[in-house]
Every structure is written in structure tokens, then in C-alpha cells.
Amino acid sequence: MNFLNLILKKRNGKSLSTEDIDFFISNYVQGNISDYQVAALLMAIYFTGMNERETADLTFAMRDSGETVDLSDIDGITVDKHSTGGVADTTTLITAPIAAACGLKVAKMSGRGLGHTGGTIDKLESIPGLSTSIGMDRFKDIVADCGLSIIGQTSELVPADKMLYALRDVTGTIDNISLISASIMSKKLACGSDTIVLDVKTGSGSFMTERKDAENLARIMVGIGKMADKNMLALVTDMNQPLGNAIGNALEVKEAIEILQGEHDGDLKDISTALSVNMILSSGLVQEESAANLQVISALESGRALSQFSKMIELQGGDPGVCEDTALLPQADQIVSITSPAKGYVSHIATGEIGGAAMLLGAGRAGKSDSIDTSVGIWMKKRIGDGVDKGEEIAVFYVNDTENLEYAKAKFQNAIVVGAEPPEKKPLIYNSIS
């Protein structure tokens, strides 16, 4: 098979066969196809698209490009949850302990942050001593013991995705729905869980700024999962403002623990509990939404969810004391108050820019090799619709290195719009797709 013919076929708007796609992925991983040829095919896919069968074939070929995880020796129902990424999106650290406290087994592999979106692994590694680099046998033992474990993706898992993502990142082909779907679902399917619940973000802080695109992405991913005989559900949720109050790794862990302690209400808790309810329902643990809701409430109010998280931290080498005293998490040297420039109502937040301001403080990375400071970040004091007075505190910056502080403050201030009238309230959950 000649790879040039595949490029020409897709450039001319024709469908690639299953054999074409298998040839492409297997030979690229083996080093038989050059990056410049694959870049040409990716650009052709970007402009002419892929149908649902092609997208599924690409997903399965990528899944099978490396090792897959066998969770069949774990007693109980295994469940995974994935978010397409946003700002202050700490749902995994809340939903996983809740689901485990309700009797599910959460065996989750997560990634690091890149750009304005945070990474679950970076957040977890802000907990003193905690390791996310754990062998597969130990990983499964922890899941069997306490109901959950969250680790970094192994190098042997879906190597095709790592290679293709690096190329997409430098060729302007990231935001294509088929390529995004295949990237996400190949990894989810390779991780082996029985049930997968997706949180597909839409709005100013997400990859899918338009709701219709987010819903299309959700439908495609749910369809792929069902082809692989997985229990699937996707929620399409709002990312037109930071989901939680905390933006930055240790700060987000602090907020997640405080929600598990029962100290905070709000959008982050609401989305986390909705995802937990749907993890329970999709797994078939109970049949009625009311029963699932009662299980989630009980897991939180009884302290079982917090206890599950504490046990996971301890089994992964971390200090479980953070679940009682969040002051044990890394602390920044300085606290800088950010105030409102005018009186009125917070009417708009450019969420991606807020994430960018946290990056400037050192909380995120522009490139995969960049280092981060887990102690720094932003704590939001106001949300869309809140009234503010001129000079009133709207956020707090946690700072160590002040080199980019003024740039971060300017970026943050430019991202917040204060208007004379309260804005129309957007729903938190736009759709549920199963």
C-alpha cells in the first residue's frame, strides 16, 4: 500500500477504508512513514473530515497501537470519567472518591496540564509524597483495596496518540472533531473500564466554544464507546467561567478536599455530583436517579468519600493528613488582592484568559517540558451575575515569582467585564447524551 495514495484519497474528499487506517497507524508507530507525510494526511483530514465509521476505525487502530489495560481481575464494576478540559475543573478529585464510596471501582489514568487547562496528575502531585507513577499490578491492587486510584498514563499505552498529538500541536490540526474523538476515546478504551462518563465542555474556556460542536463531539464519542461495548454517557456542560473558585494545582486540591468535607457549594460541586450520579446510573448500580442521588449525598455527608480519597493518597505514598489540614499543601509566599475597576455586575468572563493569567504566575505550562509551581494560582471571589462595588476584591493571586505578575494582573482584569445590568444566567448542564 502506498501512503501517498491515502493522502490523495483524503485530500480529494474520499473515505479511507478500515485497511487504509490500520496501515497508516501501524506503519507510523513502527517508523515506516515520515512526519511530513502524516502531517499532510492530518491536514487533509482537517479540511475534508472523516465520517463516523472512519473516526471509529481510527480510534480502534490507535487503541491497539500499544498495550491495553485488563481490569477483569478487579471485583466489581470499573468506571472511568473524562473531561475535555477547562479552567478550575477539579471534578475528578471529587467524583472519583464519591463513586468509590458508592461501591464503584475507579481505575483512572490521567494526564498533565498543557496551556490554560489544568492536569489532574499535576494537581495530585502537589500532595506531599504522592506518586502517580505506579506499576500496573500495584495500580490494580490499590483500586481493589480502596475503590480508586489515579495515575499517569504509561508510555506503552496508545503510542499512536502521543505521536499524532505532538504533530497536530505543531501543524494547526488540533481542533478537528474526528481527531479529538479518536485521541480521547482511544485512551479511554485502552484503559479498560466497563463504564465511561464524559464531561464535554463548551464556552469561552473550552476547546469547543460552540454548544453544537460540543454536542456533536459528545455524540461521536458516545457512539464509539458503544461500538466497543462500553456503557456510555456524556454531559455537555458550561465553561463560560471557571468551574470552581481555585485555579492552580495545590489550590484546586484544597478546594476539592473542602467540597468533600462539606464546606463549599456551587458549580464545581454541582457538576461533580451530577457526574457521580451518572457514573452510578450508567454502571447499572441502581436504576433510579433518585436512588443514585441519595447514594451521592450519603457518600458526602457521611464522610466516606473524603475517607476514600484519604486512603488513596496514603496508598500512593502521599500524606493523608492533607484531608484534615489543607495547610499541609504547598503554600505560595505572597497573596495579592485583585479588585474591581467599576461598580455593577460581573457580566462576562473570558475564561481562557483567566487560565492564561494563572499560567503567567507559574501554575501552567506553555510546552510539555516546562516546569510548574504547584503552590501558585488564583482564587476567584466573584462569579458571573454577582454584584460588585468599585474597589471590591474579586480575586486573590497566590504568587512566588513576581516577574510576570503585572502581565498576569492585566490579563486577568481584561478578562472580567463588569456591566450595569445582571446578565442572563446560563444553564450549568446543557445536555445529556447516551
Catalytic residue among 116, 187, 188, 311: 187
**Distance (Å, rounded) from C-alpha 407 to C-alpha 405?**
5
* DSSP letter, residue 160: H
Asked about 183 being catalytic, the answer comes back as: yes
Sheet of 344-349, strand order: 387-388, 344-349, 416-419
Ramachandran area for residue 37 (φ above 0: left; ψ -120 to 50: alpha; else beta): alpha
Catalytic residue among 10, 63, 82, 269: 82
Q: Hey, is 338 helix, strand or coil?
A: strand
Give whole-number Cα distances, 424 to 241, 243, 413, 428, 432, in Å.
14, 17, 21, 13, 22
Asked about 187 being catalytic, the answer comes back as: yes
Asked about 161 being catalytic, the answer comes back as: yes
Q: Please choose, from the candidates 353, 265, 313, the residue with its C-alpha nearest in 3D space to the C-alpha of residue 97.
A: 313
**Distance (Å, rounded) from C-alpha 75 to C-alpha 150?**
18
**Distance (Å, rounded) from C-alpha 194 to C-alpha 31?**
33
Residue with cell 505578575: 405
Catalytic residue among 65, 126, 181, 183: 183
Q: Please choose, from the candidates 381, 393, 394, 401, the residue with its C-alpha nearest in 3D space to the C-alpha of residue 332.
A: 401
**Distance (Å, rounded) from C-alpha 337 to C-alpha 164?**
42
Catalytic residue among 168, 219, 230, 269: 168
Residue with cell 465511561: 196
Burial profile 59-88: b = 16 or more Cβ within 10 angstroms, e = fewer: bbbbbbbbeebebeebebbbbbbbbbbbbb
Asked about 370 being catalytic, the answer comes back as: no
Asked about 11 being catalytic, the answer comes back as: no
For the chain, helix (H) and strand (E) counts, in that order, are 16, 13
Give whole-number Cα distances, 87 to 95, 215, 273, in Å.
17, 19, 18
Residues known to be catalytic: 82, 161, 168, 183, 187
